[in-house]
Amino acid sequence: KEQHYSEQHSSLINKAYQTLLNPLSRGLYLLELSGVEPVQETDCDADSAFLMEIMEINEKLAEAKNEDSLEEIETLIKVKQEELTKEVTAAFERDDLEEAKKLLAKMKYFANLEDKLKAKKVPS
């Protein structure tokens, strides 16, 4: 009985750790705790400059032919994610949950780009 109890709690602790480890999932969890609706990618107010930036990175990713170009895109994505993470942190510190929600929606776009990048880097 104790072993079963330990296994259940170990699983919950691991899930909590993974949630808190990633800035996007951590931010989404904090919004959930505050009773804010789940983040949708449409929550970033369809900022046309932002959407153009995402499209350009997508195009670069689709056209990337070598490791160097993939590394360049990876660096760009990481820098953008770090900037957004700082902005989300500041929004939460100001208790501006709507701004945090918009920024987290933008972070979702970059998380999707990161997933595409990882898929492209893995040899077929």
pTM for this predicted structure: 0.82
The Cα-based distances of 66 to 1, 8, 24, 69 in angstroms read 54, 44, 29, 6
Residues in the chain: 124
Please report the pLDDT score of residue 39 as a whole number: 73
- First-to-last alpha carbon distance for the chain, in angstroms, is 45
Contact 31, 39 (CB under 8 A): yes
pLDDT band at 94 (very low <50, low <70, confident <90, very high): very high
Domains of the chain, with CATH numbers?
A: 1-121 (1.20.1280.20)
Please report the pLDDT score of residue 43 as a whole number: 58
Alpha carbon 45 to chain centroid, angstroms:
17
Q: What is the pLDDT of residues 60-90, one digit of tens each?
A: 999 988 888 899 999 999 999 999 999 999 9
